[in-house]
């Protein structure tokens, strides 16, 4: 794999998809439909999926591609693949809350090793560079030339005053009960894969998810967190969350800085 080419391609496609999404987001109205699993989908999801899929297939035709919007066609037993959520946080998009992202990742041997997370409404862009180090880019986000980047790294947590981030749309009593097992100084809410990125930058120490997610929801954020020195573990046994599972569904998990003394459920 040419990681330099991969980084450039994923970054460019995420920015192009973000432009497409924001054109629809800023329109007076847009159609919202329900998929077979009752989750919402918009024309923005579909347009971004088409753009990213075409770009990845053109550049990396020999690598398997998994995307949320084409999930019904996936029946693959793979350990190495590209995986895409073209619009993660559709509910945030529909409610115009801004906490939605474009997620593109590479999974190798079941581990997300490279990824990009772009939050177009927030103006935040995170990705792994060719060496696997995670960075946040600032500036105007030119599509052909990367701007100034800052390496990001997880926090050195204070176990008596932890910072936690949890889902904005899916926080429930089980999540609160789990968070209450820690000494938490402050809690914040965020949508989509931005939660992984807040742990990756040290803005939060851990992110528990006691609810349904799919691999395309988490792979890019997981890759960014890996590249920032973090980890994502299954809550049942605190073993690493892996990818390429049958059906691409995830168990409950927790994303954190290594210094957090995690407890299973």
Tokens of 207: 């992110």
What is the Cα–Cα distance from 181 to 179, expressed in whole angstroms? Answer: 5
The reply, when asked if residue 68 is annotated as ligand binding, is yes
**85 annotated to a ligand binding site:** yes
Neighbours of 161 (CB within 10 A): 11
Q: Is 88 annotated as a binding residue?
A: yes
Beta strands, E only, the chain? 32-34, 40-42, 65-67, 81-88, 101-108, 111-119, 124-128, 134-137, 149-151, 162-167, 184-190, 206-209, 213-214, 231-234, 249-250, 253-256
In the three-class reduction of DSSP (H, G, I as helix; E, B as strand; rest coil), residue 52 is classed as: helix
- Binding site members for substrate: 68, 87-90, 217
- Binding site members for Mg(2+): 68, 85, 87-88, 217
- Binding site members: 68, 85, 87-90, 217
């Amino acid at each position: 794999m040419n990681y330099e080419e991969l980084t450039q391609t994923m970054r460019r496609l995420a920015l192009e998809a973000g432009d497409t999404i924001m054109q629809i987001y800023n329109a007076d109205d847009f159609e919202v439909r329900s998929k077979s699993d009752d989750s919402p989908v918009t024309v923005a999801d579909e347009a971004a999926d088409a753009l990213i899929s075409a770009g990845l297939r053109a550049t990396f035709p020999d690598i398997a591609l998994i995307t949320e919007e084409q999930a019904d066609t996936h029946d693959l037993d793979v350990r190495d693949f590209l995986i895409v959520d073209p619009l993660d946080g559709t509910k945030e998009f529909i409610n115009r809350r801004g906490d939605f992202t474009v997620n593109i990742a590479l999974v190798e041997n079941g581990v997300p090793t490279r990824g990009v997370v772009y939050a177009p409404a927030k103006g935040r862009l995170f990705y792994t560079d060719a060496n696997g180090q995670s960075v946040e880019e600032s500036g105007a986000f030119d599509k052909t030339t990367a701007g100034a980047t800052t390496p990001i790294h997880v926090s050195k947590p204070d176990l008596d005053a932890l910072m936690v981030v949890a889902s904005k749309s899916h926080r429930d009593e089980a999540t609160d009960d789990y968070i209450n097992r820690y000494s938490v100084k402050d809690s914040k809410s965020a949508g989509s894969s931005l939660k992984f990125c807040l742990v990756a930058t040290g803005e939060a120490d851990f992110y528990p998810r006691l609810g349904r997610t799919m691999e395309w929801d988490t792979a890019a954020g997981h890759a960014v967190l890996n590249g920032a020195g973090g980890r994502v573990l299954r809550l049942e046994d605190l073993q690493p969350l892996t990818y390429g599972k049958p059906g691409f569904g995830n168990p409950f998990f927790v994303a954190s800085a290594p210094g957090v003394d995690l407890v299973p459920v």
